[in-house]
Amino acid sequence: MKKVPLFILSVLPFTIMAQTTPTLVADINTGMSGSNVRSVTALGSEVYFQAQAGGSSEYNLYRYTPTTGAVKVTGPGSLYPAIDETSGIEKRFGVINDKLVFHAIVAPPDTGTGTYVITEGGMPVAGGITGGSLNAIRSDLSTSSDGTKLYCWGSVSGSSGLAYINVSHSMTLLSAFDPFEFSQAEEITECNSNVFFVSDIHGPHQLQVYKPSTSTITEVAFPVPMSLSDFYPHNLWSGDDNVLYFSAKTAAEGRELFSYSTTGVVTKLTALNTSSDGVQPGKNGKIIKFGSALYFSGSNGVAGYDLMKYDLTTSTPTLVKDINPLTGSSSPAYFCEYGGKLYFAADNGTDGVELWVTDGTEANTNMVADINTSGSSNPSSLCVVDGKLYFAADNGSSGVELFSYSGSGSGGGGTSEVITAVRMVNDVVVFPNPAKNLVTFNMNLTAPTGLSVVLSDITGKQIYKTDGKQYPSGTASITVPVENYASGVYLYRILSENGALLASGKLTRE
């Protein structure tokens, strides 16, 4: 339903004020079109995400902190110019040993795909992934429960199958399949030392399990007849009780909740709707364990798809709240626990799809804020980083961009701490590049700050740093001598007076 437009607060650089709504923190593509932010991921105190800039269709990697704003990590002029911007980076992120691993298309004359590893601050890790082929990672990445492995569907020495990357960034194949690239693994999830995933190895999208004790992959058997057309398990969730929870479609009752116990027993938990799907089909984070209950988008056959929970103590499913009594389904999705409460996207039939919060009770299930007063903000990719909730959303004037929220989650708003500038440093020009003797860094500062330039070799080892100096807002220029260094490629970083990374890239010594 279209909403009545309200006044929207414009966001200006370095304005600090109390906010009762989520804050736009990175407007990558200014204007109405938006940058279509996706894959928001935490790495230490930094936020990494993919976005489109300048009206382009390709995605690139960005990093965001409240100090630096959004800084482009991949693409020409960045630390990763080898990535082909016409193809963009693929939606394959993973964090291991405090480093971000991602998969990308490489630029000509190289072909295929490559795998990259970076540390907090956007710096590359020398060597990247070892043991894998150029086309190493072919699925989303999933971190193991102890944080020492990244599971994926990968390729090693020409063989493909379930694999993992260890803390030294070496890839190991667990079980080889897919000689003709028929199969892919989706929703890889470790639970109770076993690795579960959805694949078509033994038929159309079945649930598979890899057991380290036998080094085998087998198809999970179900206690009831399953749908032959779209059985497709979704939303695998590993609880702290070492039980795997997920949804799958039965032959008689539609899609329902299931569990896989520590002893390997599959149990159908719900029979919510005998005439249709009791659990809403699709992915987008529609199941999560919060407290002693599973929360999901479900239907009891009376209301549409709304916020439901399954109490694991009493084995009872209940409707938490009929969020959308007007048009039927609120379709909760993108669940994320933050500040002891559960946040998600939902549609109440009046305000469109907005950010909601619950503590598990009907009374305290409320809309956090009407981010887009003229339509739906469609929050997605919710992620907690350094004490704040980050997500992609559309406020109606900026398109889909990066937002943050740091309120109490009481419903109707909270308190967001700071509205930050998108970038402190803009329009960095490095010339000449390549250089023989001197290289100059020209930039525009949106506020007074201290600056220094750090040069490192291609492995990340620091070889030079300018003395920190205060600069007023406006144009700043820093010159660095390079005549004593060998020919080759070097990395540069522009740091603030407190050591925060403001900009980075590469330069060539002739």
For the stretch 127-138, pLDDT in tens is 565 544 444 677
- Write down the pLDDT at residue 423: 43
What number is the average pLDDT over the span 382-389?
90
- For residue 331, give both structure tokens: 């379709």
189, with CB counted inside 10 A (0-12, 13-18, 19+), is buried
Single-letter amino acid, residue 491: L
What number is the average pLDDT over the span 171-198?
78
- Write down the pLDDT at residue 416: 34
- Write down the pLDDT at residue 122: 75
Domain spanning 425-509, CATH class: mainly beta
- Write down the pLDDT at residue 70: 76
325 preceded by a cis bond (ω within 30 of 0): no
Residue 170 pairs in a beta bridge with 130
In this model, does residue 239 exceed pLDDT 90? Answer: no
pLDDT tens digit sequence for 186-204: 889 999 999 999 887 655 6
In this model, does residue 11 exceed pLDDT 70? Answer: no
Highest mean predicted confidence (pLDDT) among 69-73, 87-91, 462-466: 462-466
434 preceded by a cis bond (ω within 30 of 0): yes
pLDDT tens digit sequence for 429-473: 888 989 999 999 988 776 667 788 989 887 778 899 988 787 877
Rounded Cα distance between 379 and 387, Å, is 18
- Write down the pLDDT at residue 257: 93
Single-letter amino acid, residue 279: V
What is the C-alpha end-to-end distance of the chain, expressed in Å? Answer: 61
In this model, does residue 418 exceed pLDDT 90? Answer: no
Rounded Cα distance between 101 and 120, Å, is 11
Of 283, 280, 285, residue with least CA distance to 270: 280
Of 189, 264, 194, residue with least CA distance to 233: 189
Rounded Cα distance between 88 and 277, Å, is 36
Rounded Cα distance between 44 and 269, Å, is 37
In this model, does residue 280 exceed pLDDT 90? Answer: no
Rounded Cα distance between 403 and 267, Å, is 39
What number is the average pLDDT over the span 82-99?
72
At 406, phi and psi to the nearest 5? Answer: -135, 35
Domain ranges of the chain: 23-405, 425-509
- For residue 152, give both structure tokens: 């994926």
In this model, does residue 205 exceed pLDDT 80? Answer: no
pLDDT tens digit sequence for 311-347: 999 999 999 999 998 668 999 999 999 999 999 999 9
- Write down the pLDDT at residue 395: 83
Residue 161: its H or E element: strand 159-165
Using 50, 70 and 90 to split pLDDT, how confident is the model at 107?
A: low
Per cent of the chain over pLDDT 90 is 28
In this model, does residue 422 exceed pLDDT 50? Answer: no
Q: What is the mean pLDDT of the chain?
A: 79
SS3 category, 235: strand
In this model, does residue 103 exceed pLDDT 70? Answer: yes
The domain covering 23-405 belongs, at the CATH homologous superfamily level, to: Prolyl oligopeptidase, N-terminal domain (2.130.10.120)
- Write down the pLDDT at residue 479: 92
Give the angle 217-222-226 at the CA atoms, nearest 5°.
115
Q: What is the 3-state secondary structure (H, E, C) of 19-72?
A: ECCCEEEECCCCCCCCCCCEEEEEECCEEEEEECCCCCCCCEEEEEECCCEEEE
Considering the entire predicted model, what is its pTM? Answer: 0.77
